[in-house]
Amino acid sequence: MGSEDRGCCDKCAKMFIMVINIIIILIGGAILAAGLYWQLNETGFYKEIFNHDIFNIPIVSIVVGALLLLVGICGFFGACCEVMFLLKVYMGFLILIMLVEIILAVGCVAMKSEVEEYATNKTYEFIGYYGDEAKDEADIIKKTVDAIQENFECCGVTGPDDWPNYNAAYKSETAPERTVPDSCCKDPDSAGCGSAKTISANENIYKIGCKVSMINFVENNLLYVGIVSGVIVILQISILVMVSKLRTTLEDESYENF
């Protein structure tokens, strides 16, 4: 039996695998490019934000992107050219990826407090760097912090008092007229909103910290996270089934031809 004599299911399985792996190749290429950009960026800002002693995000992005490219190439050419070896390697990668996902999920739950502590400390550093031309190259930290505070309607990590506590520019002794950035304001377009002499007297700023606000956002969207996770798991299982079906078909054909 040749490829032209195959049923609709076999042809659909082959096409499905090829399309999925084109997407995987594109995603892998994008992640690899981002990782290389962060790692090779001359300003060093991205290293400051994304690097960690153990979990170095630029390096991890490079590794993950390269692996996704390899997986996508194996899957695409394995299905397109019907190479049994590549399909077996691809199936091995799929099983390995699913195992890694399980380990990561368990690890994230087990290390929740450590991850939260690291993110909190890093955000305090950003507050200290905010507006510092020597540390905040191209105002990227400033823009990032402003975007977080405006979108999550919050101020500081645990509250607006974090600004004078962690950034000298907002201490009442040096700048009594401006205790928080304007991005803490309920109406950021309001001129002089952050110029109250005391934070407690300023009713025009958000009093909730971004840590609580972001945790609430995640908790309120757990349903969507669960749905997306479920779709990803179903998709991975579907790919594994399709590859197994194509592999079985190719083996049967090789036995018949033999």
Model confidence band, residue 22 (pLDDT cutoffs 50, 70, 90): very high
Longest dimension (CA), the chain: 88
66 Cβ partners below 8 Å, 6+ apart? 28, 32
- Within 10 angstroms of residue 185's Cβ, the number of other Cβ atoms is 20
3-class state of residue 185 by DSSP:
strand
Cα–Cα dist 208/121, whole Å: 18
* Both structure tokens of 193: 């909103």
- In the chain, the amino acid numbered 95 is I
Give the model's pLDDT for residue 204: 83
Give the model's pLDDT for residue 122: 83
- Tokens 């305090």 found at: 124
Phi, psi of 112 (to 5 degrees): -55, -45
Give the model's pLDDT for residue 51: 55
Average pLDDT over residues 182-190: 79
What pLDDT, in 10s, does the model give residues 150-174? 889 999 999 888 888 888 887 765 5
Handedness of CA 112, 225, 235, 67 (dihedral sign): negative
pTM: 0.66
What pLDDT, in 10s, does the model give residues 72-124? 999 999 888 888 889 889 999 888 888 888 887 788 778 778 878 888 888 88
Q: Facing residues of 205 across strands?
A: 185
Model confidence band, residue 30 (pLDDT cutoffs 50, 70, 90): very high
pLDDT at 192 over 80: no
Average pLDDT across the chain, whole number:
80
